[in-house]
Structure 1
């Protein structure tokens, strides 16, 4: 099992192959897409988080996902894996943080886990929800998705479409990705961590993308 409890939470029983690098965080990479979901009144009611896990991690996970040992991951097996992982990451706030009207908090409500096997990679999505809908026309609305210990690097790839808005009034709204700029000494500290070491709490937040949702 991965030494980081946050990584291990994704799915029980996955082991790290011997070929993994011995040092430097992060050790797992996730391409991230997020979609801000608006309700009938144009308020943020949730964010759909979509993860595409790197090919190395996916290759390790494949054995755990293939429960019938037929050397293929079926839709049902991918879905079961995602549902199990979804239940496990609830204890760590779904690797997410809302930033609404000056308040920062981890979501306590989430739903709709989906798992797929896509061209040799694990895809997983789910919806996180704020305590109450928030109107981007009236208050500052944003969110972050990251591993606090930075064992996993979770980033929106460069290019359009990786942060979006869906729902009534979406044409008047934008989701803008802000890139973090950690200090050089923070980058060096992360690079020096062995894969078996526990990173300082909150290290991952210093590397996280921030998405701001604005509506006119």
Structure 2
């Protein structure tokens, strides 16, 4: 589908995401481990801004990797990490990132972090994990099958977004902004969830 120029203005950053759902020794949900792999263009810009890989080799030395550590983990107050967990339509809170790691090779920045549940989901009822930027400045694509650690009786199913419906909704919102004479970039609609994959989880009853 051919998009208008304002729609092409978003997203700006493209990230492949992998998730692992972690259960504790009692079989209760403990947290979600999230891995991000950034697109090559954004990776090159950020690495260059940090003064790393000056020869553009697509990798970093051990010394440079130390400087890279936690490059995307210094979250501002209103940033919630783009990982969203819900159950029964209600959001479940997560901690900030812990146990993070960072790397850069094959021309792409990579990071991994763990977030613990503050609100525990009921594992016997369906719960949903989605990775998205509400503003759609960053586009996340879920790659690979979500992994489950600590239990063998849980199923994670991936559901793709309805791209046509999401695009139609975005186009209508853009038209409304244009009609009101508003700044498309500054007032871009919060449509990230519409373009997001969903991971739906269920576990067997004890």
Which of the numbers 33, 42, 48 marks the counterpart of 1:48? Answer: 33
Unmatched segments (≥5 aa) in structure 2:
1-5, 178-182
Which of the numbers 131, 142, 163 marks the counterpart of 2:128? Answer: 142
Deviation of the 1:75 alpha carbon: 4.3
Which of the numbers 24, 28, 38 marks the counterpart of 1:39? Answer: 24
Q: Secondary structure at the match of 1:136?
A: coil
Deviation of the 1:48 alpha carbon: 0.6
**8 A contact 2:166–2:195 mirrored in 1:** no
Alignment-derived partner of residue 200 in structure 2 = 212
Alignment-derived partner of residue 42 in structure 2 = 57
Deviation of the 1:103 alpha carbon: 1.9
RMSD of aligned alpha carbons:
3.0
Q: Name the CA shift for 1:121/1:131 in 2 (closer, same or farther; >3 Å).
A: same
**8 A contact 1:24–1:191 mirrored in 2:** no
Could you give the per-residue CA deviations for residues 98-136 of structure 1, whole angstroms, max 9, x where no partner exists?
113542145243311110112110111111222144341
Q: Name the CA shift for 1:131/1:162 in 2 (closer, same or farther; >3 Å).
A: same
Q: How many residues align?
A: 189
TM-score of the two chains, using structure 1 as the length reference: 0.74
Q: Does 1:179 align with 2:160?
A: yes
Alignment-derived partner of residue 121 in structure 1 = 108
The whole-number CA distance in structure 2 between the counterparts of 1:91 and 1:76 is 32
Unmatched segments (≥5 aa) in structure 1:
1-20
Q: Secondary structure at the match of 1:109?
A: coil
Q: Secondary structure at the match of 1:142?
A: strand
Could you give the per-residue CA deviations for residues 5-29 of structure 1, whole angstroms, max 9, x where no partner exists?
xxxxxxxxxxxxxxxx994311211
TM-score of the two chains, using structure 2 as the length reference: 0.77
The whole-number CA distance in structure 1 between the counterparts of 2:63 and 2:7 is 34
**Larger-Rg structure:** 2
Which of the numbers 147, 151, 165 marks the counterpart of 1:164? Answer: 147
Alignment-derived partner of residue 188 in structure 1 = 171
The whole-number CA distance in structure 2 between the counterparts of 1:27 and 1:62 is 17
Alignment-derived partner of residue 3 in structure 2 = none
Alignment-derived partner of residue 13 in structure 1 = none
Q: Name the CA shift for 1:142/1:151 in 2 (closer, same or farther; >3 Å).
A: same
Q: Secondary structure at the match of 1:56?
A: helix
